[in-house]
Amino acid sequence: METWFLAKLGTPVLAGVAVVVPVLMLMQNMSQGAMGGGISSSVARALGAGNTELVNQLARHAVALNTLSGIAFSLILLPVARPLFGMFGAHGAALDAANTY
């Protein structure tokens, strides 16, 4: 659905988004796959053991870890996004769209 919507904005926007996808997938896999899977597993075990205090601690730690991960990704990506997307082959309007996306 997102691709259809972006296609209505033009070819440069689609090209820009295509360049961003590898970085986007890395961030999604880190948060949902690695962190999300581990946190879900820990919470499920704590719930199964009936340890609600541990569940609360795990939830607080999950929020803290994900906040720190988001900040780290932002601090790393903000200064290098434009050159990185340029190395991926984007230029002109596509590079602008990738940087905006």
Looking at residue 101, the DSSP 8-state letter turns out to be -
Tokens for 30, please give them. Answer: 């880190």
Q: Per-residue pLDDT for 32 more than 90?
A: no
Q: How much is the average pLDDT of 20-42?
A: 85
Domain coordinates in residue numbering, the chain: 12-100
pLDDT at residue 96, as a whole number: 93
The span from the CA of 11 to the CA of 28, in Å, is: 25
Q: Is the pTM of this model over 0.75?
A: no
- Specify the pLDDT at position 2: 80
Of residues 6, 21, 25, 8, the one with CA closest to residue 90:
21
